[in-house]
Structure formats: structure tokens, C-alpha cells
Amino acid sequence: AQRVTQPEKLLSVFKGAPVELKCNYSYSGSPELFWYVQYSRQRLQLLLRHISRESIKGFTADLNKGETSFHLKKPFAQEEDSAMYYCALMMDRRQGAQKLVFGQGTRLTINP
């Protein structure tokens, strides 16, 4: 069965330090991976997707099919990065499945 695992519920780093939020997935088909972010008192919003291979707010994530991972990274953390981060998997669209499978989330706290 498809599954997304975020092993860290809480992650705390100092401002300016590198950040890596881990995400591993389990899916036999061709997945699409996403990172969503929820800032305090705001709604869940898309941060980035692996298809776009883009960098948003300094964050990048590379899909590693061999390790079935999609870790989120940022070289220098900023205080405004403090938020809840969710990794999500969308199953192969060709099979008609549109739902997102979410990890449990990682609460990132950036200390000044």
C-alpha cells in the first residue's frame, strides 16, 4: 500500500543553519511528490513539487527513486521558515487516482 513517512515529528535548528526534512515513500507505481507547508494560523499551501524541479523560498527537494525519498532541504534556515511541513504523494494519474497521501508532518522551529 502507498505510504509516506516523515520520521521526525519535531525539528529544531538555529537560524542560518542548514535544514533537512526527511520524507520516504512507499509506492509501486510512478509517484508525484509534493511538499506542503502550513504557517501559523494559515491554510495548507503547496511549497513545491518534484516535477517542477524548482526552488521555492530557498527550499529544494530531489526525488530519489532508488532510496524512495524526497527530502526537503534549505542551506540557511530563516526564522520565517518555522511552520508545519507535510510531504505528500499523488499516485499515478494514469490510473485515475487523484488523491494525495500525506505524511504525518514535521514541525520545524527555527531558533534565533
Partner 1 sequence: NAGVMQNPRHLVRRRGQEARLRCSPMKGHSHVYWYRQLPEEGLKFMVYLQKENIIDESGMPKERFSAEFPKEGPSILRIQQVVRGDSAAYFCASSPRAPGVQETQYFGPGTRLLVL
- Least Å from the CB of residue 66 to partner 1: 24
Strand-pairing partners, residue 8, are: none
Residue number, 79 or 92, with CB nearest to partner 1? 92
Note whether 98 and 90 are within 8 A (CB).
Answer: yes
Residue number, 27 or 36, with CB nearest to partner 1? 36
**DSSP secondary structure of 16-82:** TS-EEE--EEE-SS--EEEEEEE-TTS--EEEEETTTT--BTTBEE--BTTTTB--EEESS--GGG-
- Least Å from the CB of residue 83 to partner 1: 14
- Binding of residue 13 to partner 1 (CB under 8 A): no
List 4, 61, 72, 77, residue binding partner 1 (CB under 8 A) = 4
Give the footprint of partner 1 on this chain (CB under 8 A): 4, 6, 36, 43-46, 49, 51-52, 86, 93, 96-105
